[in-house]
Amino acid sequence: MAATVFYLDDIPPVGAVAVLDGPEGRHAATVRRIRVGEPITLSDGAGLLAESEVVATGRDRLDLRVLDRVLAPPVSPAVTVVQALPKSDRSELAVELMTEAGADAIVPWQAARCVANWETKARKGVDKWRAAARSAARQSRRAYIPEVADLHRTADVAELVRKTVADNGIAIALHESATARFAELAFPPTAPIVLIVGPEGGLDDSELDALTAAGATVALLGPTVLRTSTAATVALGALGALTSRW
């Protein structure tokens, strides 16, 4: 794979010229100052990768001849992170870190003890998370950009847990009071995994009750108490070693 990845929704066939413009083209031409002859990997963010070569540049666009195309297989088992909203200064950092660590989908959660409140600005918050996920996916050269869902409430998260368990998957609520250890859980080889990360103030009893009633397993990730903005990344790293994801 070339050293740089940029995203383009519609990648033309081998031999054709792709036009990279808009924010991606501006970043490539103006910020990265990519020149004619340089190799670029294009991706549609949904698994398609295309090796290309720059044949022309503009102030905010690149023209690239497509040299090869391949569909990258998705990582299995797929992992969705339900992330309680961190404080504003750590919110997008959490998304960047979990994207680089391999999250396949991200669900923002307005938990009871969240300091941040998106009730009146959910669309703006989701848009920022989607932009952060796209940027981090480019940085880590991912063929798939994690899908960022709309804002979820606890009832929505409980329903996600029920669907995951019904699909023979596992939903894990990370909590310091748990007796079950994360590393000792039985992870499905191919069925979906959901990681639930609470806010800085922790999950309240009603949330734990709702999640466990829906089928979630409460587990202790490790010996230290992690910030909500880093817990998912540590858990994803552990899953990489404990499953076939790595």
- pLDDT at 2 exceeding the cut of 80: no
Q: Using one digit for the tens of pLDDT, what is the confidence trace for 34-62? A: 999 999 999 999 999 999 999 999 989 99
Q: What integer best gives the mean pLDDT of the chain? A: 94
The percentage of the chain sitting over the pLDDT mark of 70, rounded to a whole number, equals 99
For residues 161-187, average pLDDT: 95
Q: Using one digit for the tens of pLDDT, what is the confidence trace for 81-91? A: 999 999 988 99
Cα-flanking dihedrals φ and ψ of residue 124, to 5°?
A: -65, -45
- Between strands 62-71 and 105-109, the pairing is unpaired
Alpha helices in 167-227 (DSSP H): 205-214
Banded model confidence at residue 211, pLDDT cuts 50, 70, 90 = very high
Q: Are 88 and 113 in contact (CB under 8 A)?
A: no
At 18, list the tokens: 């792709």
How many angstroms from the chain centroid is the CA of residue 144? 9
Model pLDDT, residue 177: 86
Rounded to an integer, what distance in angstroms lies between the CA atom of residue 155 and that of residue 87?
22
pTM over cut 0.85: yes
Candidates 198, 133, 135, 192; CA nearest to 167 is 192
Rounded to an integer, what distance in angstroms lies between the CA atom of residue 156 and that of residue 147?
16
The percentage of the chain sitting over the pLDDT mark of 90, rounded to a whole number, equals 88
- Report whether CATH 3.40.50.720 matches the domain 79-242: no
- pLDDT at 1 exceeding the cut of 50: no
Model pLDDT, residue 201: 87
Rounded to an integer, what distance in angstroms lies between the CA atom of residue 19 and that of residue 220?
48
**Strand runs labelled E in the chain:** 5-7, 17-20, 39-43, 48-57, 62-71, 79-84, 105-109, 147-148, 170-174, 193-197, 217-219
- pLDDT at 75 exceeding the cut of 50: yes
Banded model confidence at residue 6, pLDDT cuts 50, 70, 90 = very high
Q: Using one digit for the tens of pLDDT, what is the confidence trace for 84-120? A: 999 988 999 999 999 999 999 999 999 999 999 998 9
Banded model confidence at residue 187, pLDDT cuts 50, 70, 90 = very high
Rounded to an integer, what distance in angstroms lies between the CA atom of residue 242 and that of residue 22?
40
Domain boundaries along the sequence of the chain: 5-71, 79-242
What is the C-alpha end-to-end distance of the chain, expressed in Å?
18
Rounded to an integer, what distance in angstroms lies between the CA atom of residue 41 and that of residue 164?
34
Q: Is the dihedral of CA 114, 120, 122, 125 positive or negative?
A: negative
- pLDDT at 215 exceeding the cut of 60: yes
* One CATH from 2.40.50.140, 2.40.240.20, 3.40.50.970, 3.40.630.40 for 5-71: 2.40.240.20
Q: Using one digit for the tens of pLDDT, what is the confidence trace for 134-171? A: 999 998 999 999 999 999 999 999 999 999 999 999 99
